[in-house]
Amino acid sequence: MSKIALVTGASRGIGRAIAARLAKDGYRVWVNYGRSKDEAESLCSEIESAGGSAVPVGFDVGDAEAVKAALEPLIDSEGAPDVVVSNAGITRDGLFAMTGHDEWHGVINTNLGGFYHVTKVCLRGMLRRRSGRIVAISSVSGQAGNPGQVNYSASKAGLIGACKSLAKEIASRKITVNVVAPGFVETDMVKELPKEELAKAVPLGRFGTPDEIAAAVSFLAGDEAGYITGQVLGVNGGMYM
């Protein structure tokens, strides 16, 4: 029976690349989406056509009851995921002085709260099985900060702290918890940015690709990373060292 990987926010961008890579690695992938149902179903079809296994799972990671309603029946029928990748995230950029209640709490609840909601539902089965991999997708903004992204940076820094603490809590159960922190990556999220100008701030001189982030997740999810936990792997071209 194939191992299972759950990837949140998997219908587009980095999440899509992660889901495709884990399917290639042999996992049955639960492809989470929020609103992009067609994209999620398209990805699952691509995975199945390539000989892999995937199923679309729709829920808003920021809604605790929706998470439980979607995941608990799957866990009951197929078992807890072997790998949980918390990738779903949003931005609501703007100067802090102008950031409203909704812009603050919406970002925190999705990016950080989503990690809590999803991981908590999956963790019980992982603890009983005494094995698992948890990987959260943070950001260089959560390590170094970024003007106009106080809410986003706070949520991504919170992920790092949460993962380091959780790694210590559950290491005795042979479950690892790590973070991948991308820099600028070629996705829809950055398509309106002045890429040529921003790339000058990257020592390697370019934006990363979703596949490069997926490769890092694949490593941390694999057997060879069994002695790595509580770590932050920066995939950022040297922006933050």
Query: Is residue 167 classed as helix, strand or coil in its secondary structure?
Result: helix
Torsion sign across C-alpha atoms 232, 226, 118, 210: positive
152 included as an active-site residue = yes
Annotated catalytic residue, options 27, 33, 116, 152: 152
Rg from Cα positions in the chain: 17
Q: Which residues, other chains included, contact 196 with Cβ-Cβ below 8 Å and sequence gap of 6+?
A: none
Query: What tokens appear for 226 in the block?
Result: 């069994």
- List C-alpha distances in Å: 43 to 10, 26, 115, 147, 189: 9, 15, 23, 34, 19
Query: Letter for the amino acid at 151?
Result: N
Q: Which helix (H) or strand (E) holds 25?
A: none
> What is the C-alpha separation between 108 and 127, in angstroms, rounded?
27
Question: Catalytic amino acids?
Answer: 152
